[in-house]
Structure 1
Amino acid sequence: MKRITMTLDDDLLAALDAHMDASGATNRSEAIRDLVARSLSPEAPDDATCLGIASYTIEPDIRDLGRKVPQVRQDHHDRFAAALSVPVDHSTSLEVAVLKGSVAEVTAIANALFLERGVRHGRLALVPVVVEDHSHAHGNGAPHRHAKVVNRFQ
Structure 2
Amino acid sequence: MAADKEELTRFGVSFPVPLIEQFDQYIVEQGYTNRSEAIRDLVRRTLLEPSRLQSEQSVAGTIVMVYDHHISELPLYLMELQHNFHHDIISTMHVHLNHDQCLEIIVVRGKLNRLRKLHQQIQVQKGVLYADLSVTFLEEQTGEHGNEHGLGHKHGHEHEHL
Q: For this structure pair, what is the TM-score category when the shorter chain's length is used for normalisation?
A: 0.7 to 0.9
Shift of 1:108: 0.2
Looking at structure 1, the residues matched to 29 and 96 of structure 2 have their Cα atoms a distance apart, in angstroms, of 27
Q: What letter is aligned with 1:81?
A: I
Deviation digits for residues 41-68 of structure 1 (CA, Å, limit 9, x no counterpart): 5821111111131111100111322222
Match of 2:4 in 1: none
Residue number among 55, 65, 81 corresponding to 1:56 in the alignment: 65
Quick one: structure 1 residues 21 and 64, their matched pair in 2 at CA, closer, same or farther if it must change by over 3 Å?
farther
Partner residue, 2:94: 85
Superposed displacement of residue 40, structure 1: 4.5
For the structure 1 residues 37 and 51, does the alpha-carbon distance in structure 2 shift closer, same or farther, using more than 3 Å as the test? closer
SS in 2 for 1:77: coil
Residue 58 of structure 2 contacts residue 110 of structure 2 at CA under 8 Å; is this kept in 1? yes
Q: Which moved more, 1:2-11 or 1:115-124?
A: 2-11
**CA 1:87 to 1:21, structure 2 compared with 1: closer, same or farther past 3 Å?**
farther
Identity over aligned pairs, percent: 22
Report the residue type matching 2:137 in the other structure: P
Range with greater deviation from structure 2 (16-25 or 50-59): 16-25
Structure 2 Cα separation of the partners of residues 71 and 39 of structure 1: 32
For residues 68 and 58 of structure 2, the distance between their equivalents in structure 1, rounded to whole angstroms, comes to 31
Q: Find 1:17's aligned residue among 21, 24, 34.
A: 24
Query: 2:125 aligns to what?
Result: 116
* Structure 1: runs of 5 or more not aligned: 145-154
State the alpha-carbon separation in 2 of the partners of residues 21 and 120 from structure 1.
Answer: 32
* SS of match in other structure, 1:45: coil
Find the counterpart in structure 1 of residue 149 from structure 2.
none
2:135 aligned residue: 126
Shift of the alpha carbon at 1:37? 3.1
Deviation track 1:3-38 (CA, whole Å, cap 9, x = no partner) reads 223332221112212321333322111112222333
**Letter of the structure 1 residue corresponding to residue 28 of structure 2:** D
For structure 2, list consecutive stretches of 5 or more residues without a partner in the other structure: 1-7, 145-151
Residues 4, 112 of structure 1: CA spacing in aligned structure 2 closer, same or farther, 3 A cutoff?
same
CA contact (8 A) 1:49 1:128 kept: yes
Partner of 2:43: 36
Which of 4, 16, 19 is the aligned partner of 2:11?
A: 4
Equivalent residue, structure 2, for 1:152? none
